[in-house]
Copies of this chain bind each other. A is one copy, B any other.
């Protein structure tokens, strides 16, 4: 029965895909067996993460990119991740709007995932859902997050290609958010570029890339593609040929108006070029390795804690905790005592 479900996923059966992702969300006992069956068939999809501040129009952008993929006969899946919402499975309003645009298209699959428990739980469920979509044969999987906090960054940064979306005029806090997000971006998109202040947003992004991000290899400078050596963070060198775009990745800053479709082609080209770059440079394999290492590490941490706590009488832990609560034993020293009991 469970073997059947995994086999159906491998044929691309959408109902099977939906059922298995629901099993994953619900921690169904058979989900891990299904995933083990699927696992050898994964590793073929291009994973595109899309993140950015609220109000940037990420969802519209992803929608337009998905449609552009379909026009090139690529099959696509969209995973919309909302770490702050208890709703999943398409209950988010935005999904319904999207559904209308891609509805009836068998080459497109849209699913939202939300946090039922911990953030770690959501990240693990997202990893597993990606495996299901990957094994089901979707060419491109968009992983879209609602916010731009650290949690969203954690989930999106394991994608092969990370698109960070900005929009003009979102207030000062946005500047602060950018600081952390610079490191994970492979492509910057300034959406809502028909607004007056779009030019300023692009200029400020380029400046932040240049000043605030010494490890970024490459930036756009005064509208021309330039390279920044990582050893010499402030030294800027021009990049001459299109071949170099494949061997050394130049982080582009692109303008779009998702509602009208303006600039979507350029983003599509950048996505394709980045995937080629990853393949040719060997970075694709490296990102896949890191993905898997992170996944093993976080699952191990969870299981370890469970096994450890099962070994210690709960009365012992209660006694230690009441010392902590009465401010006689510091939390740190309490941990030492618990470790000494069980390890």
Contact = CB atoms under 8 A, between A and B. Distances in A.
Contacts of A59: 173
Interface in A295-343: 295-296, 299-301, 303-305, 307-308, 321, 324-325, 327-335, 338-339, 343
A331 B147 contact: no
Contacts of A176: 54, 82, 84-85, 92, 94, 146
B55 A303 contact: no
Contacts of A94: 172, 176
A13 to B, nearest CB: 21
A179 B88 CA distance: 12
Interface residues of A, number: 75
A181 B296 CA distance: 30
Contact of A84 (B36, B150, B303, B334): B150
Contacts of A338: 296, 300
A113 to B, nearest CB: 13
B54 A174 contact: yes
Interface of A: 32, 35-36, 39-40, 42-43, 53-56, 58-59, 82-87, 92-94, 115, 119, 122, 127, 146-154, 170-177, 179-181, 288-289, 292-293, 295-296, 299-301, 303-305, 307-308, 321, 324-325, 327-335, 338-339, 343
A279 to B, nearest CB: 16
22 contacts: A39-B330, A54-B173, A54-B177, A84-B149, A84-B176, A86-B179, A87-B179, A146-B176, A146-B177, A147-B177, A149-B149, A149-B151, A150-B152, A289-B325, A292-B321, A292-B324, A292-B325, A292-B331, A296-B321, A296-B331, A299-B335, A304-B343
A36 B333 contact: yes
A303 B179 contact: no
A180 B83 CA distance: 8
Nearest to A174: B54
Contact of A85 (B122, B171, B180, B329): B180
A60 to B, nearest CB: 10
Contacts of A55: 55, 170-174
Given A84-B179, A146-B177, A296-B321, 6 more contacts: A36-B330, A53-B54, A94-B172, A94-B176, A296-B338, A300-B338
